[in-house]
Structures are given as C-alpha cells and as structure tokens.
Amino acid sequence: MADGPRIALIDYGAGNVGSVCKAAEHLGFVVQVTADPDVVRTADHVLFPGQGHFGQAMQRLRETGLDRVLRQVVEAGTPFTGICLGLQLLFESSDEAPGVPGLGLLQGTNVAFRAPQKVPQIGWNDVKILRSGSPLDALPDGTHFYFVHSYHAVPVDPSVVVGQADYGVPFVAAVQRQNLFAAQFHPEKSGDAGLRLLAARLGAPC
C-alpha cells in the first residue's frame, strides 16, 4: 500500500481524466478518480483536469455541487492543480460562454485567439518562466509543452502568472497563487517534460 499523497482527480465528464490518471499512475501515485465531495474535501491534493466547453463544464460543476466543494478546498489550503480548461475555469468568466460565471478563484476572464493564427492552437510551445517558486522551476526555462486550446486567460492580477508563451500574442501558460497552481498546457501529454512537472507538483511518491 502506497503512503503517497491521497490525490483526488475530479471527474465531471470533461475530457482528459483518463490520460491525467495514467500519467500520475505511471509516476507511482495512487489516484482516486472521483466526483464525491467527501473524497475531494479530504484529499491531500486535488487535480482538476478539463477539456471542452467552458459553459458546459461550469453547468456540470454547478449541477453536481462540485463548484462549491472546489472553492472550499482551495480556500482551505489544499494543494490544487488545474489543467487546461481546469485553468480557465478558475477565473470569473470566458468569452466562450458569455454570462456564465466561472469559479472566480482568480480575478479575470478568458478570451479567444484570433486569426490569422489557426484556432485552436494545437502543438508544442515554449514556456517562459516569469516568476520562480512554481513547479515550472523543475524544468529549464523555455521548455516546450503541449497545448490544445482556443481561449486563454487574462488575469486581473499579473503577479499570478508564473509561465507565459507566445501565439501571435503573449498568453498565460501557467498561474500560481499560494496552494493553487494551474497550467494551460497538458503536462500529461507533454512527454518527459510534462511528467517531470507533474512529479514536481505532486511530490515524489513513497
């Protein structure tokens, strides 16, 4: 029986749960895929993946009551890691679903990439570390990660941005505030670099 952290991987029907789970298991972590509020509240670490539509994802979170639970665990100081849409949902809103409130844990919104860039952005982009003290420090500055997204976050407080990349415009690649860390890219699909980032974020398993 592993003595590593109890990791709750939030399953709310939004995509990449399976691949995040496999990556964490590959690293030796024991992961509980769950939508159970009690499991989430008592976890040592909450992984919040996401893929798909901002509005539909928020609707699912509200229907299941997970929106409140997620706010509670973040406010209680539980280490919390958002991935892709799981970063965007931390903010107050998105142009993808006008009028739909996000989790509002971070101030700001999400806006779309624009032509002439191809949308979605699909592929590997290099992430510049803007601020030290995040899991990005486990990798060299400028490491490439795999992105798939049409929208990107625009935080009110620029000091939460720890990683930035460029796609016609500079955009937020990773944010951190206290116990909260989130990546716009997919560490579970970013090869060795992504696995090293996940390992650094989750802490080495026993």
Return the active site residues: 84, 186, 188
Q: How many residues bind another protein (CB under 8 A)?
A: 36
Nearer to another protein, 30 or 148 (CB): 148
Which of 72, 166, 169, 178 touches another protein by CB under 8 A?
166
Nearer to another protein, 46 or 193 (CB): 193
Tell me the H-state helices in the chain: 17-26, 37-42, 54-64, 66-75, 85-88, 191-202
**Which structure tokens are listed for 183?**
């990546």
Going residue by residue from 47 to 86, which x/- string records binding to another protein, judged by CB under 8 A? Answer: ----xxx---------------------------------
Is the sign of the CA dihedral 118, 92, 131, 50 positive or negative? negative
Angle subtended at Cα 151 by Cα 155 and Cα 170, rounded to the nearest 5 degrees = 60
Q: Does 122 bind another protein (CB under 8 A)?
A: yes
* Least spacing, CB of residue 38 vs another protein, in Å: 27
- Percent of the chain that is helix, strand, coil (3-state, to 5): 30, 30, 40
CA distances from 81 to 46, 98, 134 (A): 6, 25, 12
Query: Which parts of this chain interact with another protein (CB under 8 A)?
Result: 15-16, 18-19, 22-23, 26, 51-53, 115, 118-126, 144, 146-149, 165-167, 186, 188-192, 194-195
